A and B are shown apart, each in its own frame.
Chain A
Amino acid sequence: MPTFDYAPAPESRSIVDIQPSYGLFIGGEMVDPIDGTRFKSVNPATEEVLSEVVAAGPQDVDRAVDAARAAYAGAWSRLSGRDRGKYLYRLARIVQERSRELAVLESIDNGKPIRESRDVDVPLVAAHFFYYAGWADKLGYAGFGPDPRPLGVAAQVIPWNFPLLMLAWKIAPALACGNTVVLKPAETTPLTALAFADICQQADLPPGVVNIITGAGDTGRTLVEHPGVDKVAFTGSTEVGRQIARSVAGTRKKVTLELGGKAANVVFDDAPLDQAIEGIVNGIFFNQGHVCCAGSRLLVQESVADELLAGLKRRLGTLRLGDPLDKNTDIGAINSAEQLDKIRMLSEVGETEGAERWSPPCELPERGFWFPPTVFTGVSQSHRIAREEIFGPVLSVLTFRTPTEAIEKANNTPYGLSAGVWTDKGSRILWMAQQLRAGVVWANTFNRFDPTSPFGGYKESGYGREGGRHGLGAYLDV
């Protein structure tokens, strides 16, 4: 029993109103499916069934794309950029007004701690809508010519790790540029997207501008392959990204893909150690490691490796794992049984490969999907746990001797989404940033996001950028 024992500090669930079942949001209304089936969505922390949602069938997808096309050709294309901006500002304000409800709902559906959904996810959602609202009437100044035109109907498929935030990253720029959208949330996290449908109605958004169809892989495939779609935006696994790239090849559809990563978090011998430890923890244990840009490979300079690891292990002992709705929880639930199996499997592989596994003592709740924060030391580049994306709270620790070796090891991966550099030397930060083949480089920090800052990767981490002025390019006919 610790001296200072934090009492339970639960956020109340009473603010959310989850319906027993949901339809599809098409043409401004919640409608029943035509040929879709139904499936259940569960709370990963407790395994309780939350609601029943639709897996949209091909005719449902047709209907959604048709509604988006009608809205694009009709009211939406006749609006000025300024008026489109007004709708986006409205959406942003309503997100802010309903922020507590959305944060609680996100934690219940996804498993992430309420502190993160309250302090990171939902504020960034509002920020993206505010930011792109400001661009809607200034597209002529974005560097794409005096009057860039939208593409038309955008098909958007998003992952389960940041459900509402990924929705914002997709919908805000699309609408700002004058497109209409059909968005499919991930099958395990549909609820905040459905709440957003309600927000669209509250904002009086013209029917069909935003359509939300729930479903799994099949629905996503049907949507992306639909001939009536002009643009495809996908965030998810590299495997599915490849399939999408194949299926749109030869069509006129424009595509952006934001895929996986195996980011190197590089710590030099002159790094501010305590803050580097925080950055490592944030890099791989934030959101239970379900982050495409997670710092899943720690590259530590050999001369400080022992000291750093001792400090890291001590710090991991203060991480709090448990009920996502408790305001003091740091590590929440793994999003699904499937993901938990994958994490377990790869962790076993890590042990078999010869790396040394360590976790702080951790009491896992009986029900739900849980995995303790885990560190593998003695990892080499040739180990699978150094190459494959685990997408869980598992850190692989490798060492390097010189800055050049750090670059070689950091870049020696098919991925190229993000990287971190920890050093007190400014010149080294600039040099590393130039040499690293990663779309996002963080210096003495990690996992910092902002709507003004373009995000995306090299190589198998995908192509295209989301956020900032660059993010507009994906949704304009340029």
Chain B
Amino acid sequence: MPQPQVSPGRTRRRPAAALASSLKPVTVTIPAGFADVTASNDTLRRFLHGLPGVDQVGAEARAAMLATRSIKTTAKAFALDLAIRMVDLTTLEGQDTPGKVRALCAKGRQPDPTDPSCPPVAAICVYGDLVPTAVEALAGSGIHIAAVATAFPSGRAPLDVKLADTKAAVAAGADEIDMVIDRGAFLAGRYLDVYDEIVATSEVLGGDAHLKVILETGELATYDNVRRASWLAMLAGGDFIKTSTGKVSPAATLPVALVMLEAARDFRNQTGRQVGVKAAGGIRTAKDAVRYLVVINEVAGDDWLSPDGFRFGASSLLNDLLMQRQKLATGHYAGPDYFTLD
């Protein structure tokens, strides 16, 4: 099949061989100057391997230094509220039922029943088949509905199955899709396949939903790979890059988020497009969450300090944020009985 000629900044469609025929073709805009990067697996590999490396010791040292910032009083109050507004409240278990999802949605709408000034969360994150329940439970709230898709969490399924999974979630009303990349293809060096799958998934969304691309950084193992996968996902049109499924350890860590925020910052500097970052899995305490906000603040900057720039994929984190928030307001810590489980 002849490769279409593309000039920088123009849109382009990938060859149809890998796509299911029932898809509505929506084209992905390749950033100006990057068209030839994705012309073949070789060119994409050379580009990704040509990005500056990440020194592991240095990256971890920077994250550790940023973790020593002392965020108190008014700064802490601001950070806690912002963190709550950034939470994608999540349940992703085989045993999820409509009842469980309804309870989670109620919690997301009103995290602290004793304090109406407490903001709601950014989104509820569930498996695709439970989206209809979430849609009903969140009607009128403005809270987004994120569905995991593309054979989450492993991503090991034929492409047409993954796309059908995605289509169903969107059709049911999800306005955010958290997809997983094919880590096997990435580690085997088939970068263009990974890229094509992201593009195909984003084409299914058709511009109605926003796409988060889960890199599963725990399986990518090195920070160099995290940087490369971040760039790959952003070039492919992802709206957010996300650390983990939460099903593999290690999941989100401060150094990994730092590397991803650096990549997002660099991507915007070079293309003009801002991609958000989501840290998911293993973030349990308010103290951790505030540390992520410090890293965002000092690495990426103000534009990422909002739910449109950063999200926390979490479940138990919310209650620790509420506990800290209440303590700031009242002066003492209440016991866990004073905070609803869901």
Contact = CB atoms under 8 A, between A and B. Distances in A.
B271 to A, nearest CB: 16
A376 to B, nearest CB: 24
A7 B58 contact: no
Interface string A418-448: 0000001000000000000000000011000
Contacts of A424: 53, 55
A2 B302 contact: yes
Contact of B71 (A2, A3, A6, A279): A6
Q: At the interface, is chain B mostly helix, strand, loop or mixed?
A: helix
Interface string B40-74: 00000000000011110111011000001111111
Chain B interface size, under 10 / 10 to 19 / 20 to 34 / 35 or more? 20 to 34
B193 interface: no
B305 A3 contact: yes
Interface stretch (A216-224, A270-278, A334-342, A455-463): A270-278
B249 interface: no
B293 interface: yes
A272 B54 contact: yes
A3 B298 contact: no
A456 B82 CA distance: 49
Given A275-B55, A278-B62, A444-B55, A328 B70 contact: yes
A270 B54 CA distance: 11
B76 interface: yes
A119 B61 CA distance: 13
B97 interface: no
A231 interface: no
A7 B75 contact: yes
Nearest to B52: A273
Contact of B57 (A6, A271, A328, A445): A445
A444 B69 CA distance: 24
A328 B69 contact: yes
A327 interface: yes
Nearest to B78: A4
Contacts of A271: 52
Given A2-B302, A9-B70, A115-B68, A445 B58 contact: yes
Interface string A274-308: 11101100000000000000000000000000000
A115 B59 CA distance: 19
Interface string A1-42: 011111111000000000000000000000000000000000
B8 to A, nearest CB: 20
Contacts of B297: 2-4
Contacts of A445: 57-58, 61
A318 interface: yes
Contacts of B54: 272, 274-275
B68 A9 contact: no
B79 interface: yes
B74 A279 contact: no
B59 A274 contact: yes
Interface of B: 52-55, 57-59, 61-62, 68-76, 78-79, 82, 262, 293-294, 297-298, 302, 305
The 5 closest A-B pairs by CB, nearest first: A275-B58, A9-B70, A327-B70, A275-B55, A272-B55
